[in-house]
Amino acid sequence: MRILNSLILAGGLLACATSHAGDLLNWQNNSLTYLWGKNFKVNPETQQTLTFEHADSWKYGDNFLFVDKIFYQGKKDGNNGANTYYGEISPRLSFGKIFDQKLAFGPVTDVLLAMTYEFGEGDTESYLIGPGFDLAVPGFDYFQLNFYHRTTDGSRPGDHVWQITPVWGYTLPVGASDVLIDGFMDWVVDNDRNGRGSYHANLHFNPQVKYDLGKALHMGEKQLYVGIEYDYWSNKYGIKDSDAFTTDQNTMSLLVKVHF
């Protein structure tokens, strides 16, 4: 755990370093998203979410982070009250960039050390680490494939499980503008094996389908999007779905997203 925490901390420090060293930074992008949706499981059914996202590429890797502020339409969640927050910080270190070597084979264009720190209200902290790969997939703007070993803090189950996370972006021209299809999938492929035994394999599929309204209105492309976010999550939070307690989530939210 100490080694894992040190690696996560090092990745976080490297991510922060990009903001203080402009010559190391290749590009960065920030956005704010508003979401409204119904039919959520485990937590209250109707939710509004404000999301801040940051992504960048720098000399030795890339970084992604987001923070959600979630509102439950006046209802209260059993653990978090009328609203809550959740976020992830995901730095990746590129071996190709660090060693100044082209690490390409087949569809793989780079090999990375991928890390994620998950945090939120209450006992929600998790640490993930493993190999990551950038792939050249025809038609896609980008495609990442990350393999993580998950470790949780506190008394929650979920240690010693593996997670596979593809991340993608695909742009489709439509008339005078574009539709962007991007998102991720978190697939925890096995159950907890540390003796607590209550964390189940689960799959979280979360794409967004967004129309570039800013481009259509001649306000600038890739700045203002409208669309939907689809959210499918089997055994949400690793809680096994049952007749007594439904945890398989299948819902959709309306979204507005502004990049800056």
Q: Given the DSSP bridges, would you call strands 83-94 and 108-120 parallel, antiparallel or unpaired?
A: antiparallel
Identify the pLDDT of residue 195: 52
Domain of residue 248, residue span: 2-22+29-259
Q: What is the pLDDT of residues 152-169, one digit of tens each?
A: 886 677 778 999 999 999
Q: What is the pLDDT of residues 45-95, one digit of tens each?
A: 999 999 999 999 999 999 999 999 999 987 888 777 899 999 999 999 999
Q: Which CATH number fits the domain that encloses residue 223? A: 2.40.230.20
CA 146-149-116 angle, 5° bins: 60
Cα separation of 128 and 181, whole Å?
Answer: 26
Domain count, the chain: 1
Indicate whether 174 pLDDT > 50.
Answer: yes
Q: What is the pLDDT of residues 242-253, one digit of tens each?
A: 999 999 999 999
What average pLDDT score do residues 117-134 get? 94
What average pLDDT score do residues 4-18 get? 49
Q: What is the pLDDT of residues 42-55, one digit of tens each?
A: 999 999 999 999 99
Residues contacting residue 47 through CB under 8 Å, at least 6 positions apart? 35, 36, 37, 38, 40, 70, 71, 72, 73, 253
Confidence at 184, pLDDT banded by 50, 70, 90: very high
Amino acid at 235: N
Cα separation of 74 and 244, whole Å?
Answer: 25
Residue of 143 and 193 predicted with greater confidence: 143
Indicate whether 19 pLDDT > 90.
Answer: no
Confidence at 8, pLDDT banded by 50, 70, 90: very low
